[in-house]
Amino acid sequence: MQQNNPSGRRSAIDVVVRVRPLVKEELEAKDGALSLTFPDSASSWPTPFSISATTTTVRGAEKEKTWQFANFGAVLPPEANNRATYENVMVRTKAVENVARGNFSSCFCYGYTGAGKTHTILGYREELGLFHHAATELCCSLAGKTSSSGQPLSLQIRFAELYNNRVFDLLAPDRPECSVRENEDGGVHIRAATQMDEKGRVSVRPLTPMYARTEQEVHNIMAAGTKQRSAGKSTVHDQSSRSHAILEMEIVSQELIDARNQLIEREADAVPPGKARDGYLLMGAGVCYGRENGQFIFVPGVSEEAKEKYIREFTALDDPAEAAMQLVYAAQRHEKAILQESRDNNSVVGGTLVLVDLAGADVDDATVKQTPQQRKEATEINKSLLALKECIRALDKNKDTTHVPFRNSKLTHLLKRFLVPSSSISVMVANMSPSERLLKKNNQYYPVR
């Protein structure tokens, strides 16, 4: 959902700046703190913000410099905890409330490595993260609500990570690699690796879904997935998340779960006859080139008898393959009908909250020794974050003719379905450290630019 503001300009994404306090290592190193000017709590949109620090020029001279920013939804000082952050990020924008109306909402945490992104999303020890507060609110909103058939609703949770431009399922055993696919209507989905089911059919499944009805169940699922997430060293942090983590919490009914399982079954049933038909096409290359507009294109010189035989044998294989695909299409329509009925009846089914813990942006620091693997990680992370910036910039232009380059990275391709719908709410938390040393190290402050 695009946000209106007093200036009349519409913004695609609401941005909140969160400044963390200096951590123990920074205090021990006697890092200087930036001079930050925060707005008072009564400030209305747009929220101003400024940073002042002593910087070093190209010639080595030091001078005082001030950066002025505006147009933020909120600016949170170091003393703001995760609960206060949740109030300013999710409650103020009505992101979770929007999900409870059956729509999409998303929240991204962006910033340099060590800026506090994972702490904001997941929390640490007794301080709960945004996901836990959101899960609590969602579970409370579901209490007592049922589907059209009278069955209780639940949260379907999917958890994936994007590491070195490869997608992995964090809720499946052994963290299998997945693929990104786009269907005929432009929908983007994550597909798990193909597998042989108990009936001997080739089955292609989506991300592993897990179900919860209480916030504790959500917490347990998240804890299991987080253990499989990639972490490593960066130029400024010993335990940095080196992957983008994407958590989806969707409100589902048993009817929707059954419809999706039926679609998986129908797709598996369609593989054998389709494979047999396609194999016959390849084997018959010496007789027939293929079909165009329903007509067979035969190789010159083929006898009429051979043509008739080919058509007869191909039809015997094509009919069951086509019948199987019709069942797939029917299952797809059934799933869409359930979601459409939910929207028509103002139901909560299909509402989805997406929380994204983006990997820490990194700098090419010649003074820090990096392994080839670490350099590759940093390169992939920065490329995907640059692609996300370009997509946000294009969306913010608010013009139907503006091209949004979602295909420039796998990250933006995945997030397309949550950023495009007009009924979606998107919030970005720009996490930053107040360390003056990091400002000098990075030379510029990307999170608030």
Q: DSSP secondary structure string, 202-265?
A: EE--BSPPEEESSHHHHHHHHHHHHTTS-EE--SS-SSEE-SEEEEEEEEE-HHHHHHHHHHHH
CA dist 68 → 51, 53, 78, 364 (Å)? 7, 12, 19, 26
Which phi-psi region, left, alpha or beta, contains residue 45 (left: φ > 0; alpha: ψ -120 to 50)?
beta
Q: Quote the CA–CA distance of 208 and 262 in Å, as a whole number.
A: 16
Amino acid at 10: R
pTM, full prediction: 0.81
Tens place of pLDDT per residue across the chain (449 aa)? 334 343 333 456 888 888 887 777 767 666 666 666 666 654 554 565 666 655 555 555 666 666 666 677 888 888 888 999 999 899 999 999 999 888 889 998 888 877 888 888 888 777 888 989 999 999 888 887 888 777 889 999 999 998 888 899 999 888 888 888 877 767 778 888 777 777 778 888 888 999 998 888 998 998 888 888 876 444 444 445 678 889 999 999 999 999 999 999 999 999 889 888 888 888 877 788 777 887 888 888 889 998 899 889 989 999 999 999 999 999 999 999 998 888 878 788 889 999 998 887 666 555 456 677 777 777 788 888 888 888 888 877 765 656 888 888 888 888 887 777 667 888 989 888 777 666 655 554 444 44
> If we measure between CA atoms, which residue out of 223, 243, 200 comes closest to residue 113?
243
Q: Mutual orientation of helices 254-283 and 304-344 as an angle, nearest 10°?
A: 160
pLDDT at 326: 95
